[in-house]
Structure 1
Amino acid sequence: MQARDLMVEDVVTVRADADVSEVFRKFARHSFSGFPVVEADGTVVGVITESDLVDLFEADDETLWIPIGLPPFVDTLTYQIKPPWRDLDLGVDLVRNADRPIREVMSTDPATVTPGTDVDEVLTLLSSTDPDINRLPVVDDEGALVGLIARQDVIRAFHERRMEG
């Protein structure tokens, strides 16, 4: 079994010149957790995920420094804080980031495979935790997108194969 046996060819993509607001609309219209990002010629340049967009709304600095003692004997403690979602002003953050180029937010240099990649390599990539890969763009020799393999595609293919045999 090879990547071509697992991939779907009708892939929803995001243009590399899109902005954050366009990508939010794409996530709202499709039930995917990520999309390949492509140039006009179809070359894969990145992947954008829901997690990448959620990161836009997290506080830049989650460390609170607390001074302890009196000068000159002052020590500091660090304390990690995570503000709850309700404390963030999502409307302001969305407006602030709406025109931001997706190139600044996407994961660059994504793992890709070719149609002839062996299933064992596909399984190795999708089961890796560093980085955690949920989808693999399938590209031709020039790097243009020809398909996509998501974890559920692999599971479905193996299930179908077991049901046949």
Structure 2
Amino acid sequence: MVRISVRDVMTTHVASVRPDTPFKDVAELLVRRGVSAVPVLEEDGRVAGVVSEADLLRKEEFREQYYGEDYRPRLRARLRRRLAGRGEDGQEKAGAATAAELMSAPAVTVGPDTSTVTAAQLMDEHGVKRLVVVDGEGRLIGVVSRRDLLKAYVRDDAELRRWVEEAIPEQARWNDRTGIVVQVQDGIVTLSGYTSTRTEATAAVHVAKGLGGVVGVREGLVWERDDRLELPLIWD
């Protein structure tokens, strides 16, 4: 089945820093490269953690530590800090001078063959905007961001149609799909025509919905036989 993986959409030219990189150099790198975070790499290329804009801005959130007791962080910053339950961690990062002291560790990582669906779920689960892509040894090979994941939906309708037509017989193990008509417009797949059984129709819809880049699926299949009604009843 055609599946879009992290490898297909990730960024491979990634800016990175070392654990001893000074605070100011990290900030300048983020601004110069126009990115919101950078991985921190050990000498052997393994990912030690990630420094984000949020980590750097801890110094601003706890600015009263440097500018006197009269300074009060913005309400949003105070609430975020309280709800996250990381006041002490924030204070430590406010006084950080190097990437090692700033970084969030361990980094949330994925392998290059991870599906974009799983990557999106991990971002949501961990509340991060990007994932570090590593090889089997934990070494950096790329970064995938939320914007990168959106690339899966920037696909030509003709290409999506071909993917669906190829995926349906492969997944459902049919020898003939001549009864199914696949149409795609603006990423929305319409399945029409007929199948021999209801199970085959359901499988076709399931396969189409599982393909990367498919915005939605409209069901218009008709089956000749409802094989679900033929299943034997199981009595307690």
User: Which of 130, 142, 161 is equivalent to 1:147?
Assistant: 142
CA 1:82 to 1:119, structure 2 compared with 1: closer, same or farther past 3 Å?
same
* Aligned residues between the structures: 133
The Cα shift of 1:82 comes to: 3.8
Counterpart of 2:153 in structure 1 is: 158
Instruction: Provide TM-score, normalisation by structure 2.
Output: 0.51
2:43 aligns to what?
Answer: 40
* Letter paired with 2:7: R
**How much identity, in percent, do the aligned residues show?**
33
Alignment of 1:14-25 (within 5 A): 14-25=17-28
- Cα gap change, 1:58/1:160 in structure 2, threshold over 3 Å: closer, same or farther? same
How much does 1:163 deviate?
Answer: 7.5
Question: Per-residue deviation at 1:162?
Answer: 5.3
- 1:38-67 Cα shifts (integer Å, max 9, x gaps): 1122111111111101102222789xxxxx
Shift of 1:158: 2.1
Inter-partner Cα distance in structure 2 for 1:161 and 1:114: 26
Kindly name which structure, 1 or 2, has the bigger radius of gyration based on alpha carbons.
Answer: 2
Q: 1:135 corresponds to which letter in structure 2? A: R
Q: Give the 3 Å change call, closer, same or farther, for CA 15–116 of structure 1 in structure 2.
A: same
Task: Show structure 1 runs of 5+ residues with no match.
Answer: 63-80, 85-95
How far has the Cα of 1:110 moved from its partner?
1.2
Quote the Cα distance in structure 2 between the aligned partners of 1:163 and 1:154.
20
Residues 127 and 105 from structure 1, CA distance in 2 versus in 1: closer, same or farther, beyond 3 angstroms?
Answer: same
Cα 1:161–1:139 change in 2 (3 A) is: farther
> Is the 2:64–2:73 contact (alpha carbons within 8 Å) kept by the matching residues of 1?
no
1:117 matched to 2:114:
yes
* Cα distance in 1, alignment partners of residues 59 and 128 from structure 2: 20
CA, structure 1 residues 83+136, in 2 after alignment: closer, same or farther (shift >3 Å)?
Answer: closer
How many angstroms apart in 1 are the aligned matches of 2:102 and 2:113?
30
Runs of 4+ in 1 over 6 A off after TM superposition: none
Compare the two structures and name the one with the higher helix fraction: 2
Match of 1:100 among 97, 100, 124: 97
Could you say what secondary structure the match of 1:8 adopts?
coil
Q: Secondary structure at the match of 1:17?
A: coil
Q: How large is the RMSD of aligned CA atoms in angstroms?
A: 2.5
TM-score (norm 1): 0.71
Q: What does the per-residue CA deviation read over 1:12-31, in whole Å, with 9 as the maximum and x for residues that have no partner?
A: 11222211011011122121
Are residues 1:132 and 2:131 paired?
no
Contact 2:63 2:73 (8 Å CA) reproduced: no
Equivalent in the alignment of 1:66:
none
Give the Cα separation in 2 of the matches to 1:163 and 1:28. 39
Partner amino acid, structure 2, of 1:116? D
